[in-house]
């Protein structure tokens, strides 16, 4: 178990990279709320991919499905053909949680949190080796948290909290890193330093998936984006996909569940069943059209003034 | 002259009064058994308070009653019956919660009272020599050799399991998602913690009784949590508070001729109150004065 592929010293071209394949996932919660519907996408290896969508649009649900925290009602997730449970045992997958998922009053120090990233490499008693300690210290150093390592985790600022959990992901040496809303409650300086670190990690061959509802910084660091509102609406390179039109569709459109729940057996649902293209329904695209038209006139107005 | 006599006699009398309990076999036994039980409960209580499972502890303690009655009726060790029913109740709680739209507290409330009521019916209908009062409130002063053996086996198993899996259990309490992400079997850890909980309650049954067991399972951990920001220190404080309360409580109950479990828990609650008010960092008074 100790010998794994993970090693931070490998040059970028020698490092193995891993993509995430999400295959036709649907998730319905026990209160009958449809959270994700026929979502399919592929996160390209060695990229930073932004997962963009409105709050309640299923970003966290997709994350939890990818990490295996919940099992979807339908569909599969794999890491380049490796089932998720196996990928986790191989320490391929690291996860940086949202701030409100953590109990900040827990009696534990920053150092001990980062050490938890190493548990998968230790024997069953979880006694850290010299190597484990070294890697923890290096990870803390890399995110600039060494001097705070003895602090209880609640005694940190918002940005420091994020960096502590980022250090745990680094210590785990996972090749695939998922960050859930990493920029909420973080100042601009920390956001920049996290982005710089993510770009370095990508260049070392890591695959990084970042969920965010903050659109302003996406184009500065994401190679690719996936637009999500209860299903995958669009996916591709940032230049091609991160367009105003697509964003209007993602954030302006009605949630899919409100459209499908009433007409469960109607023929247009079958079109929606095609993985990843749930939105090409005649009725719905008309809806989208009307949503878009609302924003369209404003733009022409501005142009008119300019002229 | 009378004052002379009093002065001459009273130190000796006072000394006799103090050491009297230590000359009685059943008191010595009660003291070390309660200290042992206090240690086991204190260790687990750190995990239970951090995980937020206090109500679950209450549930398991009440759910063991039918198990104790059935075990006595069949001539089996009480610890076996108690463990089976206690653990069974937690499994049932998990199942009902997963299958219905009820919230966890409602499920726990329904199931443990159901088990408890069933136990009461059994205890009053099955002819046996068990004293319901002793099940409810404990009877460490009258503990039999056989019961001590069962208590020690249950307690030692609990300590061994926790010692063996302590880091993983702590990770499970802190961040079960991360535990899953590094490939650990979180389902197994969930059931490990539940069975350890049931074992601890079996351990404490004779000392505190099922009504007060939950105090021994929650109060030391809660007290320590108010006094510490590190788990190791929390563990030490919890064990110290618990053992001290158990020893002093058992001793006091002899002189007061009062319920032993009651004395122990009252002392624990006093320690908790002191920590809550005067804890250096999180104490209510200390924070006001700062």
| Lowest mean pLDDT segment, chosen from A129-143, B6-20, B226-240, B262-276 | B6-20
Asked if residue A5 has pLDDT above 80, the reply is no
Question: Are residues A216 and A283 both part of a single domain?
Answer: yes
Side-chain-side CA neighbours of A196 within 13 Å: the count stands at 10
C-alpha count within 13 angstroms, C-beta hemisphere, residue A92 = 26
Question: What average pLDDT does the segment A275-299 reach?
Answer: 38
DSSP, residue by residue, B12-69: HHHHHHHHGGGGSHHHHHHHHHHHHHHHHHHHHHHHHHHHT-HHHHHHHHHHTHHHHH
A224 domain residue, yes or no: yes
* SS3 call for B225: helix
pLDDT tier at B4, thresholds 50, 70, 90: low
Domain end residue (candidates: A124, A153, A173): A173
B172: contact with A, CB 8 A cutoff? no
Check residue A253 and give its pLDDT: 57
* Distance from the A67 Cα atom to the nearest Cα atom in chain B, whole angstroms: 6
Q: Determine which of A106-120, A159-173, B6-20, B92-106 has the lowest per-residue pLDDT on average.
A: B6-20
User: Within this chain, do residues A123 and A190 fall inside the same structural domain, yes or no?
Assistant: no
Q: Tell me how many residue pairs between chain A and chain B have CB atoms under 8 A apart.
A: 68
Mutation target vs A (from B50, B53, B182, B184; most A CBs, 10 A cutoff): B182
3-state per-residue secondary structure call for A52-80: ECCCCCCHHHHHHHHHCCCCCCEEEEEEC
Question: Hey, are the CB atoms on B230 and A152 less than 8 Å from each other?
Answer: yes
Same domain? For A51 and A178 the reply is yes
- Describe the strand order of the beta sheet including A93-96 as a list of residue ranges: A93-96, A176-180, A207-212, A48-52, A224-228, A232-237
Average pLDDT, chain B: 91
* Contact present, B2 and B117 (Cβ < 8 Å): no
Residues A219 and A86 in one domain: yes
- Pick B180's closest partner by Cβ from A69, A103, A172: A69
CA atoms of A158 and A152, how far apart (whole Å): 14
- State the residue range of the domain holding A111: 104-173
* Residues of A contacting chain B (CB within 8 angstroms): 30-31, 67-69, 85, 88-91, 93-95, 97, 101-103, 106-109, 112, 116-117, 119-120, 125-126, 152, 168, 172
Residue A264 in this model has a pLDDT that exceeds 80: no
Contact assessment for residue A224 and residue A241, using Cβ atoms and an 8 Å cutoff: yes
User: Which pLDDT does position B134 carry in this prediction?
Assistant: 84
* DSSP-derived pairing of the beta strands A176-180 and A20-28: unpaired
- Is A267 in a helix, a strand, or coil? helix
Task: Give the residue from A115, A142, A173 where a domain finishes.
Answer: A173
Residue bearing tokens 């809303």: A181
- Pair (A276, A163) in one structural domain: no
List chain A residues with CB under 8 Å of B225.
107
Contact yes or no for B230 and A120 at CB 8 A? no
Identify the CATH number of the domain defined by range B33-206.
1.10.3470.10
Give the model confidence (pLDDT) of A225-255 as tens digits. Answer: 999 998 999 999 998 999 888 888 888 755 4
More confident position, A272 or B134: B134
The residue among B102, B175, B186, B234 with the most chain A CBs within 10 A of its CB, best to mutate, is: B175
Confidence of residue A257 (pLDDT cuts 50, 70, 90): very low
* CA-wise closest residue to A251 among A276, A227, A226, A219: A227
Q: Inter-chain contact B178–A30, Cβ cutoff 8 Å?
A: no
Contact yes or no for B183 and A94 at CB 8 A: no
User: Has residue A265 been placed in a domain?
Assistant: yes
Q: Which of A189, A184, A209 is nearest to A52 (CA)?
A: A209
Kindly give, in sequence order, each residue whose CB lies less than 8 Å from that of residue B42, ignoring residues fewer than 6 positions away: B216, B220, B221, B235, B238, B239, B241, B242, B243
Q: A151-179 burial string, b = 16+ CB within 10 Å, else e?
A: bbbeebeebbbbbbbbbbbbbbbbbbbbb
Which residue from B167, B174, B229 is facing A126, i.e. has the nearest CB?
A: B167
Contacts of A126 in chain B (CB under 8 A): 167-168
| B217 and B204 Cβ atoms separated by less than 8 Å | yes
Provide mean pLDDT across the span B103-126.
92
Closest by CA position to A259, among listed A13, A37, A97, A30: A37
Is residue A47 assigned to a domain? Answer: yes
Q: Which helix (H) or strand (E) holds A38?
A: strand A34-43
A contacts of B184 (beta carbons < 8 Å): 119-120
Of the candidate ranges A39-48, A141-150, A279-288, the one whose mean pLDDT is the lowest: A279-288
């Amino acid at each position: 178990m100790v010998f794994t592929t993970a090693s931070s010293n490998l040059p970028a071209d020698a490092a193995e990279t891993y993509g995430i394949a999400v295959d036709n996932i649907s998730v319905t919660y026990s209160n009958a709320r449809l959270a994700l519907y026929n979502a399919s996408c592929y996160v390209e290896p060695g990229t930073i991919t932004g997962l963009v969508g409105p709050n309640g649009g299923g970003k966290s649900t997709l994350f939890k499905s990818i990490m295996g925290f919940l099992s979807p009602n339908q569909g599969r997730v794999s890491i380049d053909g490796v089932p998720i449970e196996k990928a986790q045992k191989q320490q391929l997958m690291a996860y940086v949680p949202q701030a409100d998922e953590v109990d900040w009053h827990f009696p534990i120090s920053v150092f001990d949190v980062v050490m938890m990233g190493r548990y998968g490499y230790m024997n069953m008693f979880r006694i850290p080796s010299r190597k484990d300690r070294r890697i923890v210290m290096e990870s803390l150093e890399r995110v600039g948290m060494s001097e705070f390592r003895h602090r209880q985790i609640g005694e940190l600022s918002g940005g420091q909290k994020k960096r502590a959990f980022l250090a745990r992901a680094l210590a785990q040496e996972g090749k695939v890193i998922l960050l859930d809303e990493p920029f909420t409650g973080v100042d601009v300086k920390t956001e920049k330093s996290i982005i710089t670190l993510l770009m370095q990690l990508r260049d070392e061959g890591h695959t990084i998936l970042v969920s965010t509802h903050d659109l302003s910084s996406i184009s500065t660091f994401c190679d690719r984006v996936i637009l999500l509102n209860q299903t995958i609406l669009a996916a591709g390179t940032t230049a091609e996909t991160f367009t105003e039109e697509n964003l209007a569709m993602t954030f302006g459109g009605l949630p899919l569940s409100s459209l499908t729940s009433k007409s469960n057996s109607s023929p247009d649902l079958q079109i929606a069943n095609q993985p990843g293209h749930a939105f090409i329904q005649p009725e719905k695209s008309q809806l989208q059209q009307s949503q878009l038209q609302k924003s369209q006139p404003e733009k022409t107005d501005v142009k008119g003034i300019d002229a | 002259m009378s004052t002379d006599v009093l002065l001459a006699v009273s130190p000796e009398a006072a000394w006799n009064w103090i050491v009297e309990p230590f000359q009685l076999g059943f008191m010595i036994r009660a003291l070390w058994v309660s200290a042992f039980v206090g240690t086991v409960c204190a260790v687990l209580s750190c995990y239970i308070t951090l995980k937020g499972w206090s109500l679950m502890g209450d549930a398991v303690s009440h759910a063991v009653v039918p198990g104790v009655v059935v075990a006595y009726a069949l001539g089996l060790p009480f610890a076996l019956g108690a463990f089976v029913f206690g653990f069974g109740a937690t499994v049932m709680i998990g199942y009902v919660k997963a299958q219905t739209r009820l919230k966890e507290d409602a499920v726990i409330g329904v199931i443990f009272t159901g088990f408890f009521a069933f136990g009461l019916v059994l205890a009053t209908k099955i002819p046996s020599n068990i004293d319901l009062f002793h099940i409810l409130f404990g009877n460490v002063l009258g503990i039999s050799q056989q019961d001590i053996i069962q208590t020690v086996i249950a307690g030692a198993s609990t300590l061994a399991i926790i010692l063996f899996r302590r880091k993983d259990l702590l990770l499970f309490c802190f961040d079960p998602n991360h535990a899953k992400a590094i490939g650990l079997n979180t389902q197994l850890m969930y059931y490990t913690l539940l069975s350890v909980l049931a074992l601890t309650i079996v351990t404490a049954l004779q000392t505190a009784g099922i009504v007060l067991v939950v105090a021994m399972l929650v109060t030391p951990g809660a007290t320590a949590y108010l006094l510490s920001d590190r788990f190791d220190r929390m563990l030490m404080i919890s064990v110290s508070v618990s053992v001290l309360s158990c020893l002093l409580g058992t001793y006091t109950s002899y002189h007061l001729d009062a319920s032993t479990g009651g004395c122990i828990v009252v002392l624990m609650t006093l320690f908790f109150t002191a920590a809550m008010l005067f804890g250096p960092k999180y104490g209510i008074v200390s924070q006001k004065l700062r």
